Amino acid sequence: MLGLVCQPHPFHFLTDALGGANLSRADLGSANLSEANLSRAILWGAKLLAADLVRVNLGGADLNGADLVRVNLSEAKVTLEQLDKAKLLTGATMPDGSIHP
């Protein structure tokens, strides 16, 4: 019988591997990417409608044209300059907990 080791976050290996990934135009709507390492990821034109990006590392990520409507960015590592390049931020929870108009 094969013994399995359970870990608190069984898909954590995947979210760690996304740093520098090219996710241009990807449809990641409603995805749970909390605590993922998306540093240097290319998210140009990606659709992240209502995605969970709590405590995600977006350091150096390209958000040009990304759809971040209703995304939860609570405690995310991201700059205002990066967010300014997103196409839409309507209803997004910002890193400081405020809701974008």
- Residue 83 dihedral angles phi and psi, to the nearest 5°: -65, -30
In a domain, 45, yes or no: yes
Q: Mind listing the pLDDT tens digit for each residue in 62-100?
A: 999 999 999 999 999 999 999 999 999 999 999 999 999
Number of domains in the chain: 1
Q: Which of 30, 63, 61, 33 is nearest to 45 (CA)?
A: 63
In a domain, 90, yes or no: yes
CATH classification at residue 79: 2.160.20.80
In a domain, 87, yes or no: yes
In a domain, 56, yes or no: yes
pTM beyond 0.85: no
In a domain, 4, yes or no: no
Domain residues for 55?
Answer: 13-101
Q: Mind listing the pLDDT tens digit for each residue in 8-52?
A: 444 444 456 688 889 999 999 999 999 999 999 999 999 999 999
